[in-house]
Amino acid sequence: MPIRCEIVSQDRMVYQGEADIVVLPGTAGEMGILPHHAPLLTTLKYGIIRVRARGEEQIFTVAGGVAEVQPEIVTVLADAAENVEEIDVARAEAARKRAEEALAKVKPGDVDTLLALEAALRRSNLRIEAAKRFRAGKKPSYEE
């Protein structure tokens, strides 16, 4: 009996389906969630979510958020998330360039802008790295 998995970002439903295991980048470490897992709530760091169903694995980038686990469902509320197969690398590279250029010009003491630009840089780097690593047909196993 699989576990249901829903990954929702601020602007859309990124994934919904059944899974045999969902691996989450919890802030306290990577967590493998199997069906009938005990309830828990965790924050997520920037990283990779793996959803395995019927021998197939789908990989998602997640730029922070929270996950709620119930025995029959894992719900991820992400600040931003995307399937690695749908990442537009040129867009992420343009976002990285914009963030780098703006960071070089940020006024001393403008902490809000600095933090926003650093977050944009981390999102774009995550997307670029994940697309490079996980689209090459290299799908690491859970034992890696």
**What is the dihedral angle through the alpha carbons of 9, 14, 16, 19, rounded to the nearest 10 degrees?**
-100
Q: Does 92 bind ligand ATP (CB under 6 A)?
A: yes
Q: How far is the CB of 69 from ligand ATP (least distance, A)?
A: 23
Q: How far is the CB of 20 from ligand ATP (least distance, A)?
A: 25
- Using a CB cutoff of 8 Å and minimum separation of 24, what contacts does 100-108 make? none
Q: Exposed e or buried b for every residue in 31-43, given b needs 16+ CB within 10 A?
A: bebebebeeeebe
Q: Does 123 bind ligand ATP (CB under 6 A)?
A: yes
- Entry field: residues in the chain: 144
Interaction residues for ligand ATP, span 94-113 (CB under 6 A) = 95
Toward ligand ATP, which CB reaches closer, 42 or 60?
60
Among 3, 7, 9, 50, which residue sits at the site for ligand ATP (rule: CB under 6 A)? 9
Count of chain residues binding ligand ATP (CB under 6 A): 14
CB–CB of 22/36 below 8 Å? no
The residues binding ligand ATP (CB under 6 A) are 9, 11-12, 80, 82, 86-88, 91-92, 95, 120, 123, 127
